[in-house]
Structure 1
Amino acid sequence: MWKYYALLSAIFAAMTAILSKVGVKGINGNLATAIRTSVVLVLAWGIVLANNDFKSVKELSKYNLIFLVASGIATGLSWIFYFKALESGPVSKVAPIDKLSIVFVLIISFIFLKEPLDLKTIIGGCLIVGGTLVLIL
């Protein structure tokens, strides 16, 4: 099932790039990020409440909170820089560079999470880097 969720994530990420580029036209990227973040906040809490998942809050550990807060900070910074890039750059170039995050995930997950890197993964990562370079140069 995770593969379907990942594919849906990619589709919505593509829609996000296009919609964001149109939405950021003529406004400051920080304002665009704040509006987008507010919508995500309401949507996420709405889903939690609709699924009656709020009761799980008491199961959160200090460890969970530290890493979720750090993840939130990283997400916020990613979005701020993404919108700054979209303000002046073409989405067809910004989005591929942003997707280099996949390569960074492969490297960081190998180093810190001890996840295996097989030949297919290494080749795929190299193809992503190569494809990005082709698109942006």
Structure 2
Amino acid sequence: MSNQNTSDLIEAYLKKILEESSKIEIRRAEMAHLFNCVPSQINYVINTRFTIQRGYSVESKRGGGGYIRIAKVQISDDDQLLKQIAQFTGNELSDKDALIFIQKLYEEKVITKREGNLMLSVLGKQVLCKAGPDEDYLRAQLMHSFLERLSYEEE
């Protein structure tokens, strides 16, 4: 556990609680005290590791009675997940966001590990960096093509 940084520990702690309950409510100051860190580190973890792209809904209220609610988003079916990813992809897609989306597709068993690795090899920086300033645009177009193909019913 010594290899993990505080952000990893906070993320693991919150995910462990979310395994037992579909929704949690935390207070930033209490979490910061628990992990002996500043409240902004709690914000960082929530803003970067509990995003809609990763399958979480976050609601927060600031102030004295403030809270942060985190809920695991339940996708009704594969087609809905594909549509949501397509919507978030838009016209540009970073290498990092492509990885997050592919991981989500794998976690939800929409794609196999092999398919995910193939997608990563095509969408990765090492291939698309040759596209220059159009790299993120090209990655988005390729992702849309993948998502469209995945939405077809198999016969």
Does the TM-score normalized on the shorter chain lie above 0.5?
A: no
Q: TM-score, normalised by structure 2?
A: 0.26
Structure having greater relative contact order (Cα 8 Å, sep ≥ 6): 1
Q: TM-score, normalised by structure 1?
A: 0.28
* Larger strand percent: 2
* Larger helix percent: 1
